[in-house]
Amino acid sequence: MSDDRLTHYRDDELGAALRELDVPEHRPGFEAELHRLLAEERPATGRLGLRWGLRLALVAGVAAIVLLVVGIPRTDRTPRIAGPEVATAAQIKAQVQTALATLENLSGTVVSDGPRKGDRQRWRFTLTAAGDFLLVGPGEGERLAYDASEGVVRGAQTSASIGGDTLFYSERRGVAPGPPDPGPPTGPLPDQYGAFVRALLSAEDPRVREVTYDGRPAWRLEIDVEPNAIVPEFSGDRLEIAVDRETGLPVRLLVTKDGAFLEELRIEGLAVNRDLAPDTFELKFPAGADVARMDDGYRRTALDEVAGAVGYAPLVPTWVPTGYGLAEVAVAKHGAPTGTEGGNPPARKVVSLSYRRGLDQFLVTTRLARVPSEIDPDLPPQEAWSDPLASGEGFVDKPERLTIEQGALAGERAELVVVPRGIPHLWALTDELVVTVSGDLTRAELVRITESLGRRS
Amino acid sequence: MPASRPTGEIASAVVERARRGDREAFADVVRHYDPGLRALAYRLLGDRDRMDDALQDAYLKAFRALPGFRGASRLGTWLYRIVYNACLDELERARRVIHLPLEEAAEPRDAPPDLAEGVARRRDLAAAVAALAPEDRAAVLLVDAHGFDYRDAGEVLGVPVGTVASRLSRARGALRHALGEQERGVSGR
């Protein structure tokens, strides 16, 4: 029998017989019990998490767009592109990258809108180059604050499922610095709004048109993207970013599908590199408040302490792009599975090194490879592991396969992925470790950083 | 009630609403896939209460995880995988020999020959299914009874396509053998 026949054959007669076997209905009260259990799901870990995820993705996306805003005209190092001449997409992209690398902080109000009445929402936000953030809104009293150096997210939020104005308080400690581990919720989600600016940066040749926006001359950059195959009607096929010609400020992000409006983001009251009060990112809970507390298990530590904590010498790059510096070192004995739908084996003895440059970030992570899969403990590592940062089907990644030529990973095979909707990344599976390098990097930088990795004992 | 062949994928609009935390939409998702998932869980666990416990656990996990569902597989495949894992967890927790159900319908004393043959055939098949290893049992149920292709079954089971094929081969052989024995027994009356 050929392989094809072998893997397509179905025993229909046997199948019909199996379907004739009785299957009982649920026990009495099953559905009511399930509804009760669903209703008991804590907002901080269920619905509210999603809600904030969406909100933060919005803000993260807009923040990234804001970088376009501030990057173009506001620093002496940044060439001015405003003027009568038509900027090329390459010029604009270069300005974006410069902005990402030089900002200290930014703040403003982000407005999101959708096709339905009531979709419009507003948040005030502040982000810093250290990774801290504060979000205020959209409801009265709602706030979310992240302390990157401590890895703590604190929130006061209403419940989307319960409704009303009641605030629920939460504190999530031990948060990982970022992907592929579950980092703070502000990180641009690969399949969400934050990825749109990456789409601009990774687009081969975005179209630039002269348009009028809000009565002012502007440039409009258009990027075609592949919608998600699973929920295509909710996923755009075109992104448009409008950049004010006079100031060089991006003022609007528009997502459309077959020409129909899906989503809009815009920024109001932008401020850059302002003086921030020391307590800007503090969120104090009211006395007696019922606070839902969680711990992801990622502990900040010194690089020299890592080997003792995880039992192996960490892989540390000896080369990073200009301006980047090591900002956070975190270790975790246990972590959540990575990969598409969390399909990889559980994370064990994780090391996460976070490098920052302005609002840019990249991470080098390692975790043990020989961890039994929860799905099938007998699977060998090469079958158990898949790309820890995969975008997921519907956004099909086409990795570039390469061999690492230098450094501690010399000779290892690796996969490199730079796609519009995902985080640029490279990953490799060795006998001992699963290694990822990911973040705001070009293809060449990903490879060079990876080839500079060395053991630090 | 016999298990029905699983229906197709649910409307993506419902899925998206469920992803955004709409409990009613999630209930629609559960209702859509429940017959097939119930059949799988019952055949793996062999007891209605344990089936319901595992399904409740699985549905809650799915509800929590759905916001992160990014379409890496079909939603049905994803749910089957969660239920399959919940059943394996339940089996692991129990750590005891599971007496899977023989066909619950007793053979009527005065049943006509065709009906009696049918009942006996189902009873023997159920016994043969119960005797399979859970992994083999799940493979044959997914592919032959529920209509999964090998790739999707592999995603549910967390194994490569080749492993699905080998498990199917073992399971089919055992079940065919059981059916053949039973048929000879009936014809020998």
* pLDDT one-digit tens code per residue, A240-283: 877 666 655 566 788 888 888 888 877 777 777 889 998 888 88
Name chain B contacts of A22, Cβ cutoff 8 Å.
1-2, 103-105, 122
Name chain B contacts of A379, Cβ cutoff 8 Å.
158-159
Answer yes or no: do A14 and B59 touch at CB < 8 A.
Answer: no
| Domain assignment of residue A292, yes or no | no
With beta carbons less than 8 A apart as the criterion, state whether B145 and B135 touch.
Answer: no
Q: What is the pLDDT of residue A227?
A: 66
For residue A380, whether the previous peptide bond is cis, meaning omega lies within 30 degrees of 0, is no
One domain for residues A204 and A348: no
Name chain A contacts of B115, Cβ cutoff 8 Å.
none
Q: pLDDT tens, A352-378?
A: 999 998 777 899 999 999 888 766 677
Answer yes or no: do A232 and B12 touch at CB < 8 A.
Answer: yes
Reported confidence tier of residue A407, pLDDT bands at 50, 70, 90: very high
Q: Which of A193-197, A290-294, A337-341 has the highest mean pLDDT?
A: A290-294
For residues A37-49, average pLDDT:
47
Q: Cα–Cα distance between A77 and A100 in angstroms, integer?
A: 13
One domain for residues A266 and A305: no
More confident residue, A26 or A162: A26
Q: What is the pLDDT of residue A408?
A: 96
Answer yes or no: do B21 and A19 touch at CB < 8 A.
Answer: no
Answer yes or no: do A38 and B42 touch at CB < 8 A.
Answer: no
Q: What is the domain extent for residue A371?
A: 297-455
Name chain B contacts of A23, Cβ cutoff 8 Å.
1-3, 35, 38-39, 42-43
One domain for residues A127 and A245: yes
Q: What is the pLDDT of residue B38?
A: 92
Q: Cα–Cα distance between A79 and A308 in angstroms, integer?
A: 47
Reported confidence tier of residue A238, pLDDT bands at 50, 70, 90: confident
Name chain B contacts of A51, Cβ cutoff 8 Å.
21
Supply the Cα-derived Rg of chain B in whole angstroms. Answer: 18
More confident residue, A302 or B85: A302
CB atoms within 10 A of CB A274: 10
Res. A79: pLDDT tops 80: no
Q: Which of A150, A121, A127, A115 is nearest to A54 (CA)?
A: A121
Minimal Cα distance from B4: which residue of A? A19
One domain for residues A98 and A199: yes
Answer yes or no: do A231 and B71 touch at CB < 8 A.
Answer: yes
Residues of chain B with CATH 1.10.10.10: 102-189
Q: pLDDT tens, A198-224?
A: 555 666 667 877 777 667 677 778 877
One domain for residues A97 and A199: yes
| Domain assignment of residue A79, yes or no | yes
| Domain assignment of residue A150, yes or no | yes
Secondary structure tally for chain B: helices H, strands E: 8, 0
| Domain assignment of residue A245, yes or no | yes
One domain for residues A434 and A309: yes
Res. A166: pLDDT tops 60: yes
| Domain assignment of residue A16, yes or no | no
Q: What is the pLDDT of residue A130?
A: 87
For residues A51-69, average pLDDT:
39
Architecture in CATH for domain B1-99:
Orthogonal Bundle (1.10)
One domain for residues A236 and A341: no
Q: Where are the alpha helices (DSSP H) in A41-155?
A: 47-71, 89-102
| Domain assignment of residue A124, yes or no | yes
For residues A50-55, average pLDDT:
32
- Work out the minimum CA distance from B186 to partner chain A, whole angstroms: 16
For residues B145-157, average pLDDT:
87
Pick the residue of B64, B87, B144 with the most A CBs within 10 A to test the interface with A by mutation. Answer: B144
For residues A59-66, average pLDDT:
42
| Domain assignment of residue A39, yes or no | no
Minimal Cα distance from B121: which residue of A? A17
- Work out the minimum CA distance from B122 to partner chain A, whole angstroms: 6
pTM (whole model) above 0.80: no
Q: Under DSSP, is residue B147 helix (H, G, I), strand (E, B) or coil?
A: coil
Pick the residue of A19, A226, A228 with the most B CBs within 10 A to test the interface with B by mutation. Answer: A19
- Work out the minimum CA distance from B136 to partner chain A, whole angstroms: 13
What's the CATH code, domain B102-189? 1.10.10.10
Residues of chain B with CATH 1.10.1740.10: 1-99
Number of domains in chain A: 2
What sign does the CA torsion over A6, A7, A13, A19 have? positive
Q: What is the pLDDT of residue B118?
A: 59
Domain with A375 in it: what CATH number? 3.30.200.100
Virtual torsion, Cα B148, B154, B160, B161, nearest 10 deg:
0
Q: For residue A173, give every residue at least 6 positions away whose Cβ sits within 8 Å of its Cβ, in sequence order, or none.
A: A150, A151, A152, A293, A294, A295, A296
Answer yes or no: do A14 and B140 touch at CB < 8 A.
Answer: yes
Percent of chain A at pLDDT exceeding 70: 71
| Domain assignment of residue A283, yes or no | no
One domain for residues A176 and A239: yes
**How many A×B Cβ pairs under 8 Å?**
178
- Work out the minimum CA distance from A20 to partner chain B, whole angstroms: 5
Q: Which of A26, A47, A233 sits opposite B12 (nearest CB)?
A: A233
More confident residue, B83 or A51: B83
Of A225-239, A398-412, B126-140, the poorest mean pLDDT is in A225-239
Q: Look up residue A93 and give its amino acid.
A: K
For residues A403-419, average pLDDT:
92
Pick the residue of A233, A341, A391 with the most B CBs within 10 A to test the interface with B by mutation. Answer: A341
Q: pLDDT tens, A2-29?
A: 445 555 788 888 888 888 888 888 887 7
Res. A196: pLDDT tops 80: no
Specify burial of residue B173 (Cβ count, 10 A radius: 0-12, 13-18, 19+). Answer: exposed
Answer yes or no: do B48 and A161 touch at CB < 8 A.
Answer: no
